[in-house]
Structure 1
């Protein structure tokens, strides 16, 4: 049986959005991943704002071949089951680094580029649902996470939000 990560590629395609840099490279900032259903006319759109950055990356961009990480795989399978046609995966913080040890001691101005907040605001204006998914903070100071949550909720205060996790 295929994992959810593998199955998600049968439901959605990763869409290149300019001027986004989708490359997963430690030290870079990545703001958004956009997925479109392979089965069109399903209707709704959603923005999922995740605690941690995704390691989803292109395998071969010219062939639109991509590799989902386990969390994105689960998210996309859930979105498919709920008939979302467009899924935006945004990040609470934009820094790309899956090693929590390197994130310890970092403050929000290092973990989150100001462009990230602009992308969050822009994407959330145009979707049907906004889901804030707080997961494991992966070693980032809980006080820094609490500050970032407060900043994020201020950006999104005019919207109805759905929350998953802490």
Structure 2
């Protein structure tokens, strides 16, 4: 009926006693330690890294919302472009180098790191571009990282139609 701890006078040196001691004090703690280490290193580290990038992303899209090449200092513009591109490449690298458990977990939770990464790269390229391109890139980021959307997708499409019809 399973292992039970032998009583003091009841063959503590018996095979059952030695096996109980071995399993209780050596094997089980070692397995728990190894599994905890593996879980933390191969899953937890990437999830913590994702959480940090997600937090930085929200901060960055809010801070660069009013950056426009025409109206701001060239150094501020270059810093904003570098910040957005850096976040895009970090998200892409995290998505491509994380193990399958982390990627599937994030996908099941509704995150799309490739979409968010493409949005950051697009936003960094469009800081001096038309309004709808910036809004569409920001929407990609918000959708990929599950942030609340500033504007519905239909309004972005309407902006695109209006701005492209004005150029022709």
Larger proportion of strand? 1
| Structure of higher CA gyration radius | 2
TM-score over 0.5 for the pair: no
Higher relative contact order, chain-length normalized (CA < 8 Å, sep 6+): 1
TM-score, normalization: structure 1?
Answer: 0.23
